[in-house]
Amino acid sequence: MTDFILFLRRFVSQPNQVGSVIPSSRFLCKRMMEAVKWDEARAIVELGPGTGVFTKDILQKKRPDATFFVIERDAEFQEILRSRFPGLIVEDEAQKLRDYLQEQGLAKVDAIVSSLPFAVFPEQLRNEILQAIMDSLDDDGVFVTYQYSLQMKGMLGSLFEQVEVGFTPFNIPPAFVYTCRKHAKPK
């Protein structure tokens, strides 16, 4: 089954968990990866990897000694990820991020790359996940996510000292990329 058909099927059956009918484009992937300092990041987490479009790129870009794992709630996507990326650590609940870090012997992470569809989550779940991200991200770390609207800009701006918003028209649908830091980088 192609990724497109799988995404469409999962979107129709789980619209509150799967945020798109099609996997992310290579243009969106490139834009998302630009925010991470790959030569410095020692711990990286991906939230909501779906079928692994970003996962593949992260595995190619990360340092050989970096710790990397993904969090994917959908059981069918989990199965695909384990099949495509043997040895990949796949967890299942983003709000348990701190617990997973402890299991890996990590205090904080340098980068969190997210495809989670925050706009469709209930407010409590969205808040729990964002709090777990804040608690898990190193002071100099980066949280990068995309959404299909500017709906999350205010919420992210209330949590992070620095939020940069970019736009990628070459994605279906076009996407806003949010690059978030706990502390503003000096210019």
Q: What pairing do the DSSP bridges indicate for beta strands 109-114 and 137-147?
A: parallel
Helix (H) / strand (E) containing 44? strand 43-47
| 20-34 average pLDDT score | 80
Model confidence, pTM: 0.88
What's the CA gap between 72 and 165, in Å, rounded? 25
**pLDDT for the residue 39:** 97
**pLDDT for the residue 132:** 97
Q: What is the pLDDT of residues 85-128, one digit of tens each?
A: 999 999 999 999 999 999 999 999 999 999 999 988 899 999 99
pLDDT of 41 higher than 60: yes
